[in-house]
Amino acid sequence: MIKVDNVSKHFGGVKAVDGVSFDVADQENLILLGTSGCGKTTTLKMINRLIEPTSGAIYIDGKNIIEQPPETLRRGIGYVLQNNGLFPHYTVAQNIAVVPNLLKWDKPKTEKRTAELMEKLHLDASYLDVYPNELSGGQQQRIGLARALVSDPPVLLMDEPFGALDNVTRSKIHAEFKALDELKRKTIIMVTHDVQEAFELGDRICLMNKGKIVQSGTPAQLLFNPVNDFVKDFLKHQRLQLEFKAIKLADLWGLLPELNKEAKASSFNAGSNLWETLESFKFNNGETVNISKDQNESKAVSFEQLMSAFYQYKNHQAHE
């Protein structure tokens, strides 16, 4: 879907981005992770041509992005900024309608789509006539997301979209983010320097340092097969939590005992990570949770069974 091919960007003597290459598959969620100043934002902005690369090429759907006018390119790519970048002189409704107006949608179509998004993002319709400065940070960020999603672009670029939010609000938005069906269909490149966020939201992660990609792969690959000490050190804090997030239930499937599912317990898809499954025990009184795979297979497992499967899995990884 998106191919970044040996792209560099130099600002004077500073090699902000230095020979970066990666691919993003259709509907994949790629995270650009790294310390401050390592070139994440610069990389991201080259994809919608807010910055032109010094060398290298970028392709979307096999087409070099310099082949179309930047305005046209950008109208097909959603962009969410850290400080949301909402127009302070426009109401919420007008803010969301910016791209539809550029695309010359008629009014009813825009209104219908706006209403739909407001509902999906859990925003009351009464906010439509309000100005952004009258909203909370979390609400503004949701509007920023709605604005980027309104024309349903296939690609979404997000630069630390949740960076300005407090932890509680952020994990709430993370949950909504993962649940939002609109986003499941999209190819997303998201920049963050928050490792936990990267592990929670990313299908794959590109870990960057000083303008170069140090390692790219799934969270589990980075965690259990780091290419060097930099990667290992980068993931050292709260490692257990990262491991829970990196391991999917599907990874543990073979290690879980066969038990019939229970009617009352909450259910998880095998694609869920271990972290959210374990978290659910905190809130549910049930002894077990149901895990379903490929629609017909399912298992009921307890907290202890999950943890034991987890340790077996880790042992296995260590000996590989």
Partner 1 sequence: MNEQQQTLWQFMQQQSGKLQEQTLQHIGLTFISLCIAVLVGLPLGILIVRRKQLAGLVLGIAGVLQTIPSIALLGFMIPLLGIGPKPAIVALLLYALLPIIRNTYTGILGVDAAVKEAAVAMGMSKWQILFKVELPLAMPVIFAGIRTATVINVGVATLASLIAAGGLGEFIFGGISLNNTNMILAGAIPSALLAVIFDLLLSMVQKISFKRLKRVLYAFPVLLILLCLFYILPAKSESKLIAGFTPEFMGRQDGDLGLRSKYGLKIHTIVISDAVMYKAAFEKHLDVISGYSTDGRLKAYDLVVLDDDKHIFPPYYAAPIVRDDVLKKFPDLEPTLNQLAGKINDSVMTVLNYRTDYLHQSPERVAKDFLVANKLWRAERGGSDGVVRIGSKIFGEQYILANMYSMLIKGYTDHDVSTKTGLGGTKICFDALTNNQIDFYPEYTGTGLLAILQASPKTVNEVTVNRDSTYNYVQRQFESKYQIKWLKPIGFNNAYALMMRQQQAKQLGIKTISNLKRFLDKK
Q: Which residues bind ligand ATP (CB under 6 A)?
A: 11, 14, 16, 34, 36-42, 193
Residues 30-49 that bind Mg ion (CB under 5 A): 41
The answer to the question of residue 88 lying near partner 1 (CB under 8 A) is yes
Of the candidate residues 75, 178, 210, 261, the single one contacting partner 1 (CB under 8 A): 75
Name the binder of 74 from Mg ion, partner 1, ligand ATP, none, CB < 5-8 A by kind.
Answer: partner 1
Q: Is 127 in the site for partner 1 (CB under 8 A)?
A: no
Say how far apart CA 270 and CA 284 lie, in whole Å: 19
89-98: b (≥16 Cβ within 10 Å) or e: eebbbebbbe
CB of 36 to partner 1, least distance (A): 17
Taking the complex as a whole, how short is the minimal distance between the CB of residue 191 and Mg ion, in angstroms? 6
231 binds, among ligand ATP, Mg ion, partner 1, none (CB under 5 to 8 A by kind): none
Site for partner 1 in 239-268 (CB under 8 A): none
Nearer to partner 1, 134 or 279 (CB): 134
> Is 89 one of the binding residues for partner 1 (CB under 8 A)?
yes
Terminal Cα distance for the chain, rounded: 32
Q: C-alpha distances in angstroms, 197 versus 14, 163, 205?
A: 28, 10, 11
Judged by CB under 8 A, the number of residues near partner 1 is 25
The DSSP element (H or E) to which 289 belongs, if any, is: strand 288-293
Least Å distance, CB 60 to partner 1, is 14
Distance CA 242, CA 200 (A): 9
Residues paired with residue 17 on neighbouring β-strands, in sequence order:
9
According to CB under 8 A, which one of 9, 40, 120, 147 is a site residue for partner 1?
A: 147
Unique residue bearing structure tokens 């302070």 = 88
CB of 299 to ligand ATP, least distance (A): 41
Residue 19 three-state SS = strand
Report yes or no: 148 and 80 within 8 Å, Cβ to Cβ: yes
Q: Least distance (Å) from ligand ATP to the CB of residue 11?
A: 3
DSSP 3-state of 237: coil
**Residue 8, C-beta contacts closer than 8 angstroms, at least 6 positions apart:** 15, 17, 18, 19, 20, 53, 54, 55, 56, 211
Please pick, from the candidates 81, 117, 146, 198, the single residue that binds partner 1 as defined by CB under 8 A. 81
Kindly state whether residue 67 participates in binding partner 1, applying the rule CB under 8 A: no
216 contacts Mg ion (rule: CB under 5 A): no
Shortest distance in whole angstroms from residue 100 CB to partner 1: 10
Q: Note whether 48 binds partner 1 by CB under 8 A.
A: yes
Under rule CB under 8 A, residue 164 binds partner 1: no
Give the closest residue to 145 by CA, choosing from 109, 102, 174. 174
Q: Which of 157, 158, 243, 229 is nearest to 195 (CA)?
A: 243
Which residues sit at the interface with partner 1, rule CB under 8 A? 48, 50, 70-75, 77, 79, 81-90, 98-99, 102, 131, 147
Which residues sit at the interface with Mg ion, rule CB under 5 A? 41
